[in-house]
Amino acid sequence: MSAASSARAALTQELSQAQRHARLTHLQRLEAESIHIFRETVAETEHPVMLYSIGKDSSVLLHLALKAFAPGRLPFPLLHVDTTWKFREMIAFRDQRAKELGLDLLVHTNPDGLAKGVGPISHGSEVHTDVMKTQALRQALDKHKFDAAFGGARRDEEASRAKERIVSLRTAQHRWDPKRQRAEPWHLYNMKKKRGESLRIFPLSNWTELDIWLYIEQENIPIVPLYFAKERPVVERDGQLLMVDDERLPLEPGEAPQMRRVRFRTLGCYPLTGAFESPATTLPEIIGETLAARTSERQGRVIDKDGAGAMERKKQEGYF
Amino acid sequence: MTIHQSPETFGYEAFLAAHQRKEVLRFIACGSVDDGKSTLIGRLLHDTKQIFDDQISALQRDSRKHGTQGEEVDLALLVDGLQAEREQGITIDVAYRFFSTEKRSFIVADTPGHEQYTRNMATGASTADLAVILVDARQGLTRQTRRHALLVSMLGIKRVALAVNKMDLVGWSQTKFEEILAGFNAFTRNLGFSEIRAIPLSAKNGDNVVLPGTAATWYDGGTLLAYLEEVPIREEALAAPFRMAVQWVNRPNSEFRGYSGRIASGRVRPGDSVTIAPNGRTSTVARIYTADGDLAEAGEDQSVTIVLADQVDASRGNVIAAADRPVQVSNTLEVRLFWASESPLAPGAALLAKIGTVTTNATVTAIRTRIDPETGQPGPAEQLTANDIADVTITLDRPVAFDPYAENRETGGLILIDRETTDTAALGLVQAPRPAEPKHAAPVVAEVVAAKPEARGLLAKLRGLLGG
């Protein structure tokens, strides 16, 4: 063998070895990217907070945040905007996780909305979401003077979210201006802002629904039991299965809650989130269903259907 | 061809194992207005079964309202997510789309071909492994095509899929296709592409996108998706030396002090000698900490926390690098700049620069040449306006660590930030330092750094006049 060809063989071997080592799985890459985003934000902003909505994306977000700062503690609090219409199991799960992990958890409810009795049933989904979520979020961010808020939104969820940056600037009025978005080349995030402006940070931007489930399974991340199928009381209304979580859901004439084996794909306010019939009681079964799904994740959400461009408009108004 | 096997058909464990091994290809799709880029991406998503039934019904509804394809479903509406885009039938901003097949996952940056294209394309290209450049077969190569090819080559992309679209409208003419390819090859001869793969297709009908077309009997080169599934990913980056910018010093108690960061390139093991730039101190890697336990080795793209053997002073902004292949350190950078701001840039302008994890005051001390966006040829420039590309000299108020962009995209890329609006005003690629200047140049640079901000501008202008 000539010197040149043996050198080439050695190089090829070295390269293939490097290639073997260098190959991270897709989930490892996503995890590393999210951790990097958490650390950049904490280093570059004054007073960050993590929006915690108790759902599966929030569970993943929290897990990644804990990893980013280990062995240290989480260097920011969690904020839950409580519309008072969350499933009871969600609230129980939230409180249990906060206790187990020793989290600094803030809970905010819009006091004006509460006084006026705003709810999805009495006022409709648009008003409820605006008052109890969008306005409540703005109140909480202003009250605590948070200048950066982590959220679990993903680009694959909805068309206008696909255009959102990882670091998204909001005006002092918390508005999103899709035409004034900043370039995010390489992994360089511009976190500068003027007084009163704030940032929304989306570390899960490049994750898909399937990635979230695979990661929950891989990392054994606790999630709200509502994601797993179980016999639950539901009524069928406008093609959606609504769970009768408490006595506040008024039954229409002739309606009677039936026990059906259902689970949820996303979790929001209970009268606005549809369940579906499923036998899936384990994560592999859920992942199997996710792969076979013929409808999108947000199909069970009423908010997205408040007219074309509903999500884009709500985002501009300051909805997360 | 199988896009996705359902987990039942071959078992969950097998599915999971296959998914774990899957690589991700990041690519950018570029084309001019009306080349059919959004339609092509919509077609990729649709034919790889990423589109759900409720999205299809929404699409049918939207197509009647905003569609440009007559009675047919307009796939472009799958990716044009903003109302203004749907109303005007254009793409405003970079969108990221995800799809996967059994072989690979894909992240595609969909960038507009017109307004602010420099900024958006440079952003999309900065992390891409490959570019899909669209050409309308009827139009052939346009000024935009040349601009897009030049831009992606500058951003370090080595592989190009030339998607010759709307072939159905030229009767699948082989002559037409070959003419376009020959023109493209001629133009890109000096752009450093390692591979150009031309594919005749019709995004509207789906021929040669995901499913093979039958109309072009003379073509047997495979579909666009087949190419995306087999093209090598980032093989060039494997030999790059170890670099990690310190993001955060993790010091929860007196027992632990670690430097957290994302590895920009190369590999690292406990026992490796490292240099901390810019101060130049050396140390040894003691541990590679992660929340899942210490690692015996870590590499590019991993987020880790490095514990050093010595009590060296390192902080955010420092770069930990392989001791035998150190980074360069300077307070003067030669930069190829992509100016994105609506306000013009004149020599002496004071901005902020972010490179790695350092944000520092920066003065554009000289605009040396403006680069013609179509030919790549340098020409004179006094000031820059939005979308201009130019070679400039930037002076920072402290030395920073970097590699030339051609060697390392992560440590050689920077952004400039407008101090007043806080917007990102430019993207920059750090070039190899120029050969030593005439003797008088060095003290001027030192003075510029030391001088007060107001004096800096003057000095910079002076330097500009002197042709520095």
B53–A295: do the CB atoms touch at under 8 Å? Answer: yes
Find the CATH number of the domain harbouring A200.
3.40.50.620
Over residues B49-58, mean pLDDT:
74
A148 or B30, which is more confident?
Answer: A148
Q: Quickly state the pLDDT bin for B451 (edges 50, 70, 90).
A: very low
* Together in a domain, A129 and A273: no
A19 CA: distance to closest CA in chain B (Å)? 7
pLDDT tens across B280-297, in order? 999 999 999 999 999 999
Taking alpha carbons only, the member of B34, B76, B65, B31 closest to residue B169 is B34
Over residues B287-311, mean pLDDT:
96
What local confidence, expressed as pLDDT, does residue B447 receive?
37
What local confidence, expressed as pLDDT, does residue B92 receive?
60
What local confidence, expressed as pLDDT, does residue B110 receive?
84
Here the contacts of A110-119 (C-beta below 8 Å, separation 24 or greater) are A110/A135, A110/A136, A110/A139, A114/A84, A119/A84, A119/A85, A119/A248
Q: With pLDDT > 90 as the criterion, what percentage of chain A qualifies?
A: 63
* Together in a domain, A206 and A253: no
pLDDT tens across A120-142, in order? 988 988 999 999 999 999 999 99
φ/ψ of B4, rounded to 5, equals: -135, 125
In chain B, residues with a C-beta closer than 8 Å to the C-beta of A292 are 6-7
A42–B123: do the CB atoms touch at under 8 Å? Answer: no
> Based on the number of CB atoms within 10 Å of its own CB, is B439 exposed (0-12), middle (13-18) or buried (19 or more)?
exposed
Count CB-CB contacts under 10 A for residue B414: 27
Q: Which two tokens stand for residue B430?
A: 């750090």
B273 CA: distance to closest CA in chain A (Å)? 19
User: Does the pLDDT of residue A319 top 80, yes or no?
Assistant: no
> Based on the number of CB atoms within 10 Å of its own CB, is B172 exposed (0-12), middle (13-18) or buried (19 or more)?
buried
* Together in a domain, A204 and A234: no
A178–B354: do the CB atoms touch at under 8 Å? Answer: no
pLDDT tens across B213-225, in order? 988 899 999 999 9
Q: Quickly state the pLDDT bin for B71 (edges 50, 70, 90).
A: low
Among B84-98, B102-116, B445-459, which range has the highest average pLDDT?
B102-116
* Together in a domain, A166 and A227: no
Asked if residue A1 is part of any domain, the answer here is no
Instruction: Of B86-90, B262-266, B370-374, B402-406, give the lowest mean pLDDT range.
Output: B86-90
A232 or B66, which is more confident?
Answer: A232
- Dist. CA B232–CA B221, nearest whole Å: 17
Q: For tokens 């799960």, what's the residue?
A: A93
CB B210 within 8 A of CB A6: no
* Together in a domain, A165 and A249: no
CATH 2.40.30.10 for domain B238-322, yes or no, is: yes
B149 CA: distance to closest CA in chain A (Å)? 18
Return the CATH fold of B7-233.
Rossmann fold (3.40.50)
* Together in a domain, A198 and A86: yes
Q: Which residues of B are annotated as a binding site for GTP?
A: 31-38, 110-114, 165-168
| Domain B328-465 superfamily per CATH | Translation factors (2.40.30.10)
B119–A22: do the CB atoms touch at under 8 Å? Answer: no
B396 or B30, which is more confident?
Answer: B396
* Together in a domain, A117 and A230: no
B126 CA: distance to closest CA in chain A (Å)? 5
Taking alpha carbons only, the member of A29, A93, A107 closest to residue A59 is A93
B127–A185: do the CB atoms touch at under 8 Å? Answer: yes
Q: Looking at the DSSP assignment, which residues form a beta bridge with residue B322? A: B274
Asked if residue A4 is part of any domain, the answer here is no
CB B36 within 8 A of CB B166: yes
Q: Looking at the DSSP assignment, which residues form a beta bridge with residue B24? A: B105
Does B328-465 match B238-322 at the fold level? yes
B327 or A180, which is more confident?
Answer: B327
The residue ranges of every structural domain in chain B are 7-233, 238-322, 328-465
B127–A186: do the CB atoms touch at under 8 Å? Answer: yes
* Together in a domain, A239 and A201: no
Strand extents, DSSP E, B254-385:
256-265, 267-268, 273-277, 281-289, 298-299, 303-308, 319-322, 328-339, 350-355, 358-371, 378-379
C-alpha distance across the termini of chain B, in Å: 59
What local confidence, expressed as pLDDT, does residue B260 receive?
98
CB B215 within 8 A of CB B233: no
Over residues B322-330, mean pLDDT:
96
C-alpha distance across the termini of chain A, in Å: 65
> Based on the number of CB atoms within 10 Å of its own CB, is B57 exposed (0-12), middle (13-18) or buried (19 or more)?
exposed
Q: What's the number of domains chain A is made of?
A: 2
* Strand B328-339 to B424-430 pairing: antiparallel
Asked if residue A53 is part of any domain, the answer here is yes
Give me the interface pTM, i.e. the ipTM: 0.86
Amino acid at B327: V
Asked if residue A12 is part of any domain, the answer here is no
A102 touches chain B (CB under 8 A): no
* Together in a domain, A238 and A201: no
Q: Quickly state the pLDDT bin for A295 (edges 50, 70, 90).
A: confident
Q: Is the dihedral of CA B362, B368, B374, B377 positive or negative?
A: negative
What local confidence, expressed as pLDDT, does residue A311 receive?
58
CA atoms within 13 A on the CB side of B238: 19
Asked if residue A14 is part of any domain, the answer here is no
Asked if residue A2 is part of any domain, the answer here is no
Q: Which residues of B are annotated as a binding site?
A: 31-38, 110-114, 165-168
Q: Quickly state the pLDDT bin for B448 (edges 50, 70, 90).
A: very low
- pTM, two decimals, is 0.87
* Together in a domain, A201 and A290: no
Q: Quickly state the pLDDT bin for A246 (edges 50, 70, 90).
A: confident
User: Does the pLDDT of residue B66 top 70, yes or no?
Assistant: no
User: Does the pLDDT of residue B455 top 50, yes or no?
Assistant: no
* Together in a domain, A200 and A236: no
Q: For tokens 């390392």, what's the residue?
A: B408
Length of chain A: 320
CA atoms within 13 A on the CB side of B283: 20
Could you say which of A19, A32, A161 has the minimum Cβ distance to residue B238? A19
B299–A21: do the CB atoms touch at under 8 Å? Answer: yes
B81–A67: do the CB atoms touch at under 8 Å? Answer: no
Q: Which two tokens stand for residue A286?
A: 């859920």
- Mean pLDDT of the residues in chain B: 85
A196 touches chain B (CB under 8 A): no
Residue among B53, B248, B265 with most chain A CBs within 10 A, to mutate: B248
* Strand B378-379 to B350-355 pairing: unpaired
Q: Which domain range does residue A172 map to? A: 26-210+309-316
Over residues A254-278, mean pLDDT:
91
> Minimal Cα distance from B111: which residue of A?
A163
pLDDT tens across A52-79, in order? 999 999 999 999 999 999 999 999 999 9
* Together in a domain, A246 and A129: no
Over residues B430-453, mean pLDDT:
54
CB B363 within 8 A of CB B448: yes
What local confidence, expressed as pLDDT, does residue A292 receive?
79
Residues in contact with B67: Cβ distance below 8 Å, sequence separation at least 6, in sequence order = B73, B74, B77
Q: With pLDDT > 90 as the criterion, what percentage of chain B qualifies?
A: 60
Count CB-CB contacts under 10 A for residue A132: 25
